Every structure is written in structure tokens, then in C-alpha cells.
Amino acid sequence: MTVGFRILKRTETASKELVEAFAKLPVANVSDAMSRMTAAGPSLRPMHASGGMAGVAVTVKARPGDNLMLHKAIDMAVPGDVIVVDAGGDCTNALMGELMLAHAINRGVVGFVIDGAIRDVDAFVETNLPTFAAGVTHRGPYKDGPGEINVPISLGGMVINPGDIVIGDADGVLAVPMADAEEILRKTEAKQEAETRQMEAIKAGKNDRTWVDAALTKLGCALPE
């Protein structure tokens, strides 16, 4: 098997129950539960109209400007999949547009993350399939390969393995490793509950702000008398 030009089977995936649980949570809170050490970078922005994304990763490593392996990944996808493409962040050529989007919707794909460009943006807005990309260009792709499917990839330093949970909202994209998903879910739900209580205190005018001056004092900041 040729490294750099191969297609592998996805051997395991996160459970449907875990995906559904993460779909209810803000990406920012999940990120906090992962110690704020994981991110795909600020260049990956929503190209759809609104709403969040949660699904199981099919990973694609593509040569910049070439979408042959992305075509194959869509053909391989099953309902509930998010297709994540490492195309090196190159936006010279669009990797997908309206026709591929329609085919993906028929296959049950629930989202795309493309570290590269798309085109036919109006179709992404109209269909509102969650799609995060690095840019937009009218220039079309090549279809020559090479590339890989279902191998570990990295977007902005964030590692995604096939089968990981991939979530996204207006704040960006995050991959949750399968092995740690249950622990991360527990921590995120606890944070969500704490933030709910804090918001209630803010609305009631009872939010405790003494920690601000305490932190400044501890750091040696001179405060007014």
C-alpha cells in the first residue's frame, strides 16, 4: 500500500449517543473542558447560514487544489459523518461546490470541515449544511491525487483521527478524541451547569465580582484607594 496515496477503512467510531450529547453543547465550553489546548485555527469559518454541527469524522488528506480523494470520501460516507479535509490551508482552488454538496446531502453527510476553499457559496447558505472552510474562490479543482482517506490528519495543530467526534458552531471547529470523549463530556456538562447558574446570578444582579480585585492584588497591581 502506497503511503500518501491510499484509502483505509474506518475501524471504529464514536457512539451515536455521545455525538448527540456533544451536539447540545457550545464548542467554547467543550474547548474549556479540554484545557483550551486544542483548536483548528481561526481561519476555518462557517460558510452555511447558521447552526451547529456534530458528527463522526471521515478524514481526508488532500494535495492542495485537488479534490479526487474528497469525491471518494463522499462516496464512502454514511449518515452522520462529518468529512474533514486537510488541504494545507491552500485557497487557490476550490475543493467543492454545489454539485458535490448535493451529493453529500443525499449520502447523509452532516457537515464538512475543509482546510482549503469552496465555491458556489450561495448553495451552502441555502442548503445550510454545516460547512467550515478556510476561504472561497471561483477557481475549480484538479482531480489527479494523490491523497489519503481515514488516516490521522492535522488542522492548525489539532489532530483528528477517523471516528473522532467533530463539532462546530459560530465560534469554530473542534475535534473530540474518541478515547477521552466521555470524560470531556462530563467536564463540559459541569461547566455548562456552572455557567447557567452564573448567568442567573448576573440577571438577578447578584454576580460575585470580588475575584477581579483579588486577582489584581495577588499579581501586584496597584489599585486606587
Q: Strands, E, within the chain: which ranges?
A: 5-7, 45-46, 53-62, 81-86, 111-118, 131-136, 147-149, 153-155, 158-160, 165-169, 172-176
* C-alpha cell belonging to residue 89: 490551508
Q: Which residues contact 225 (CB under 8 A, 6 or more apart)?
A: none
* C-alpha cell belonging to residue 16: 451515536
Share in percent of the chain as helix, strand, coil (round to 5): 35, 25, 40
Q: What is the DSSP string of 134-177?
A: EEE-SPPPB----EEESS-EEETTEEE-TT-EEEEETTEEEEE-
Residue 24's SS3 state is coil
* C-alpha cell belonging to residue 112: 464538512
Binding residues for substrate: 97-100, 119
Binding residues: 97-100, 119-120
The Cα 103–Cα 15 span in angstroms is 25
Residue at grid coordinates 503511503: 3
Binding residues for Mg(2+): 120
